[in-house]
Amino acid sequence: MKKIDFHIHTVKSISDRPFEFSLESLKEYVEKLSLDCIAITNHNLFDREQFEEINRELEIKVFPGIEIDLEGGHILLISENENLRDFEDKCNRVKGLIPSKDDSIDYDQLIEIFPALNNYLLIPHYDKKPNIKPLTLDKLGENIFSGEVTSLRKFKTCIKEEDKLTPVIFSDCRMVEGIENFPTRQTYLDVEESSLNAIKGCLYDKTKVFLSENDGNDFFQATDDGIMLSTALNVIIGGRSSGKTYTLDKICENFENVKYIRQFSLLQNDKENFKKLVTTRHSLITENYLKDFKDVVMEVNEIDLKSNEIELEKYLKTLKKFALENDNLDTFSKCSLYNETQFETDNLENIKKLISSTKTLLENTEYKSIIDKHVTEDGLKNLIVELIIKHNELYTNNLKKSWVNGVIDQIKDGLRFRSTTTAIEPVDFQKIQREKLKVRKFETLVDNLKIEKIIDSKDIRGFKVLAKTKKYTGASQLKAKSRRQLAFSEAYNNYDKPYKYLISLQNVGIEETEFYKYFVDIDYRTLNKHGFEVSGGERSEFNLLHEINDAIKHDLLLIDEPESSFDNIFLKGEVNELIKEISKEIPVIVVTHSSTIGGSINPNHIVYTQKLVDSGKVEYQVFFGHPTSKVLKSVDGVEIKNFDILLNCLEAGEEAYIQRKTRSYDILKD
């Protein structure tokens, strides 16, 4: 079995943050993590002299490599440790083609530089950003059989699913001076030789790729000092100040996308703060519900009914005056163009959207097979051509109309300048009527929106969260909504007249894009299983369940002593059940003193910590093993009795356990 890390950076590039390479740190990393092979893979470059120095100093196999920006994604290209000058020349060509962090090479350029791709090991960013696009993977064809992932969860998913590449997990670290905790993201391969061909052969077969040396993919190394954990449910126990939280913090530092529920962090005694928290968590419901209304508000906000009325009055006034002067028209006012109206141009937005949508259908590769079932490619091409022709026709007509309108305006201005007759002010009747109807519909819409109704309901393990619409009942609520020191009193006086209220909001000082939030309030209520508003203790329980439930979006869940804030019945019932469910998806590590959790949850792995003080120096010892094992073992092979540990940590010792059982509980039985 070989332990490998084929993604290590030693040179700062244009794609990196500044760092200074430390060979001593690399040597310490290789030794501490017991690595068998590594690859040096800097961004778009290969430093041969530095590589040769690393190769001389390390006693393990070191492969030369490069991490290439390829068509928007990243790919590791690793060579056998030979012909380094040729590899250096090829990498220098890559470097020359990627002058900035926003550049990348395409597939054809890659093939031109590395014509025999099968001589190398290619590992793309697979379930890792920036990932190589599926189209690029298709071009690379059989040269790709393994892909890099970022988490244990993604690794196990790829191993299980036949159509996925063989997953590998690497550190992707920068070796700098003073690293306190070395990464534990490496991959084990069931291979004897440390040659590139042997490793490539191994990566073709998923059954030869593992997260751990002896326990397959059910365990992983959690810290650089050798603590092994299950990829399912782990419980950490130990006395007070024995290093449990210290161990949890160390595990947290080694992984990304971790959900860490710290001790006492979920207590929630303040009702208003809890309400704000629930409202924030469910803000997406509010956004989705008011999404279309937001567009309506933005459109109506552009309508100025008062200005429209003034235009109409001006038109009627000048029309009457022109009629009275009709018997005395002069030469200029008798001309047809004296009161001519302008041509109306066509709105091209809809046809532009149609062209864009058709183009999307034509260029889409992800769902091409579905699209082809219903619409032929030739049909789409004919459609887009016809739409473009129509667009150009309308666009040309608009240009002509605009030109003619300019000529009309110029002639009208000249005639009116010379005439003493009143000119009729122009007015757009269609626009005025259209906007009037829009405002009328807007007011009906807002009135309906204000009617109280439940818009969303979610059940979360005995709790129910209801989202309900309701009217604002005062200016203070609007001010609280804005979270700013703004005066809403004048605007609120018009709250029951939606259009007038909208105009009033323009003077409050809030962004126009936020107006839609001030017409209807979305109220969130959290109810217990009896249908009543939750109490202080229930609010904390709800928070814990929500946070554990939310962990499914993460790659690791850490919980520090949940029993500090919750009672045993709640922990044994809802919490234990939920933790077990989550641990089927991601590794879960729970620190506890409670027998309700530690004894009843049936973990897959137990970790015991203890503190030793020698000559004023503190040292934490860690033992681990299966819950049913007689002994737990430390990394260096020291054993400790599991039975004693469980009784001492979870039951305050065997004597106390027997006393409780015989003197407190047994005598109370019927």
Report which secondary-structure segment, H or E, holds 281: helix 271-281
Collapsing DSSP to helix, strand or coil, 608 comes out as strand
Asked whether the predicted pLDDT for residue 397 surpasses 90, the reply is yes
Q: What would you report as the CA-atom Rg of the chain, rounded to the nearest whole angstrom?
A: 36
Domain ranges, ordered by start, for the chain: 2-217, 244-257+554-664
Predicted local confidence at residue 446, as pLDDT: 97
Sign of the alpha-carbon dihedral angle for 496, 502, 506, 509: positive
Q: Is the pLDDT of residue 216 over 60?
A: yes
pLDDT reported for residue 615: 80
Q: What is the pLDDT of residues 234-244, one digit of tens each?
A: 999 887 788 88
Q: If residue 49 lies in a helix (H) or strand (E), which one and from where to where?
A: helix 48-57
pLDDT of residue 131: 93
* Mean pLDDT calculated for residue range 135-147: 95
Distance CA 322, CA 344 (A): 24
Burial 386-397 (b: 16+ CB within 10 A, else e): ebeeebeeeeee
Whether 356 has a pLDDT exceeding 60, the answer reads: yes
Report the interhelical angle of 283-300 vs 429-449 (nearest 10°): 150
3-class DSSP assignment, residue 206: helix
Cα-Cα-Cα-Cα dihedral sign, residues 301, 306, 307, 313: positive
Least confident stretch, 187-196, 266-275, 449-458, 516-525 = 266-275
**Gap between the Cα atoms of 123 and 143, Å rounded:** 9
* Other residues' Cβ atoms within 10 Å of the Cβ of residue 98: 21
Convert the pLDDT of each residue in 403-448 to its tens digit.
999 999 999 999 999 998 899 998 999 999 999 999 999 999 999 9
Q: Alpha-carbon distance 572 to 432, whole Å? A: 67
pLDDT, tens digit, 9 for 90 and up, residues 14-29: 878 889 999 999 999 9
The pLDDT of residue 669 is above 80? no
Cα–Cα distance for residue pair 462/171, rounded to 1 Å: 42
| pLDDT value at 65 more than 90 | yes
The pLDDT value given to residue 661: 61
Tell me what pLDDT residue 550 has: 87
The predicted structure's pLDDT at residue 273:
80
Ramachandran category for residue 12: left, alpha or beta (phi over 0 → left; psi -120 to 50 → alpha): beta
pLDDT confidence of 659, banded at 50, 70, 90? Answer: low
Q: Per-residue pLDDT tens for 450-502?
A: 999 999 998 888 889 999 999 999 999 999 889 889 999 999 999 999 999 99
Whether the predicted pLDDT of 665 surpasses 60: no
Q: What is the pLDDT of residue 650?
A: 62
Distance, in Å, from the CA atom of 362 to the CA atom of 305, rounded to the nearest integer, reads: 44
Instruction: Tell me what the pLDDT averaged over the chain comes to.
Output: 90
Q: How many angstroms separate the Cα of 165 from the Cα of each of 41, 137, 213, 222, 358?
A: 21, 11, 21, 24, 33
At 319, is the pLDDT very low, low, confident or very high (cuts 50, 70, 90)? very high
Residue 539 is predicted with a pLDDT of: 84
- The per-residue DSSP string of 210-274 comes to ESSSSSTTSEEE-STT--EEESSEEEEEESTTSSHHHHHHHHHHH-SSEEEE-TTTT----HHHH
Q: How far apart are CA 408 and CA 398, in angstroms?
A: 15
Task: Spell out the residues 6+ positions from residue 302 whose beta carbon is closer than 8 angstroms to its own.
Answer: none
Match 């090479």 to its residue by tokens.
105
Q: What is the pLDDT of residue 406?
A: 94
Strand-pair partners of 557: 259, 588
Give, rounded to a whole angstrom, the gap between the first and last alpha carbons of the chain. 60
Tell me the CATH number of domain 2-217, given options 3.30.70.940, 3.10.20.600, 3.20.20.140, 1.10.260.40: 3.20.20.140
DSSP code of residue 621: E
